[in-house]
A and B are shown apart, each in its own frame.
Chain A
Amino acid sequence: MLDLRGYGPSLMEGALVTIQLAFMSLALALTLGLLGATAKLSGSRVMRYGATAYTTVIRGVPDLVMMLLLFYGGQVTINALSDYLYDAHNIDFFYQFNPFISGVLTIGLIFGAYMTETFRGAFLAVDKGQIEAARAYGFTRWHAFRRVMLPQMLRHALPGLGNNWQVLLKTTALVSIIGLTDMVRIAEQAAKSERAPFLFFIPVALVYLALTAGSELFIRWLDKRANAGVAREG
């Protein structure tokens, strides 16, 4: 049996932190992606330019730099804010920016940009006549979106979503760099103090492999379901 020299339980906890981080970031990314895609396809020029600026900047900057900027910059901003509040209004307020929140914010922000592109393409792939028909039947705009647009759009978005999720999952490892005690950080500390890098990093790599492999199966299943009513080509 694998002897993790007493680090087993904390590695397990770290794995849970990684999974929580991934899911919360995904939720934020999906929200931002839907908003971004709506903005990109909207009639307002300001919204379109805003969304384009967002996706362009995110694609140009490495994840890690973004994360460092948000984590250290966020703390400086909050410190300045609390100084100001104390001086001006005598309000005593202090907030320690934590790595988990910074991680969720950064990963959510980055993958929100990729989701924007995915959703934009998927929205465009749905026939316009579908929405027009729904509106003609007296659906409200919201109902037409929820009942007609969303289910059809998801079918086109799924492959892209799946890819983004796989990349997101692996990006969570970076949050250990700003000090989150996820499984990567615990493995790093254990590997250093026990002088046994393979013993700790290989199990962590296998957990990631299991997560990506499991996701792949799940996405394939979802894809099959979403395409249930569609005749396959060829």
Chain B
Amino acid sequence: MPEFITQWLDQHEIFNTLTILHYWDGLVTTVQLTFLSLIVGLIVAVPLALLRASGKWYLSGPVWLYTYLFRGTPLLIQLYIIYYGIAQVPGIQDTFWWVIFSEPFYPALLAFTLNTAAYTTEIIRGAITSTPRGEIEAAKAYGMSWWQRTRRIVLPSASRRCVQAYANEVIFMLHASAIASVVTIIDLTGAARDIYSRYYAPFEAFIAVALIYMALTFTLVYGFRRLERHLLRHQRPVGQA
């Protein structure tokens, strides 16, 4: 680090090297929690969305119930049920799962993943059901099987249509991950709460963390906008870059 920064850090009452490191650890935890749950959630959501869009009640019904329950209740309650509830599962404390779930990180990861998978399922379902009929009819006319149509036509076409809604979900998840701090996880918000209670400096502690969240948010917004432009480049008028 340049000398003037280290000097400033050494002198500053609140933003000294220790607090900056604490924020850094928080940032790492927030990013891990958010992106791990988003990635797993997305992987789970694609098959669920296909079931949900299948048109058969015994396939779409259970998925509908799952998304309805998780979208109709606050994430905080879901987190509490999983965090406090997992210790109550009979016998779990004797198995190796307990090694994983006795740490708050993993129950929180599970809660976030289930939550984002529910929202993502509905986003993808919306995109799948709005696939133009002609695209599917053309695929059928070419003799493609259901799986070939889905893999070659429906999913690529749907993925373009859900970028915007999914970008919102990603940002929602980043912000929602702040509640991890209530189950003693030191994420960004947790770090800010520590620094607040240590120095009794609410403005410094929380405004600093708000700025970090804003930077993350707007980087993501920018990235998704680029991605959307890239995916929809075939729809741009001829001659425009």
Contact = CB atoms under 8 A, between A and B. Distances in A.
Interface of A: 57, 59-66, 68-69, 72-73, 75-76, 170-174, 176-177, 184, 187-188, 191-192, 195-198, 201-202, 204-205, 208-209, 212-213
Contacts of B206: 65, 68-69, 72-73
A174 B175 CA distance: 12
Interface residues of B, number: 37
B77 interface: yes
A209 B178 CA distance: 23
Contacts of A174: 74, 76, 179
B72 A209 contact: yes
Interface string B15-57: 0000000000000000000000000000000000000000000
B84 interface: yes
Contacts of A61: 175, 210, 213-214, 217
Nearest to B216: A60
B77 A208 contact: yes
B81 A62 contact: no
Interface of B: 69, 72-78, 80-81, 84-85, 88, 171, 174-179, 181-182, 189, 192-193, 196, 200, 202-203, 206-207, 209-210, 213-214, 217-218
A65 B212 CA distance: 11
Given A65-B209, A212-B73, 14 more contacts: A62-B213, A64-B189, A68-B192, A68-B206, A69-B210, A173-B74, A173-B76, A173-B77, A174-B74, A174-B179, A177-B182, A184-B77, A201-B84, A208-B77
A25 B234 CA distance: 44
Nearest to A173: B74
Q: Interface residues of A: mostly helix, strand, loop or mixed? A: helix
A202 B193 CA distance: 28
21 contacts: A60-B213, A60-B214, A62-B177, A63-B178, A64-B178, A65-B192, A66-B210, A68-B202, A69-B206, A69-B207, A170-B73, A173-B77, A174-B179, A176-B76, A177-B179, A187-B80, A188-B80, A191-B84, A201-B77, A204-B77, A205-B73
Contacts of B84: 191-192, 197, 201
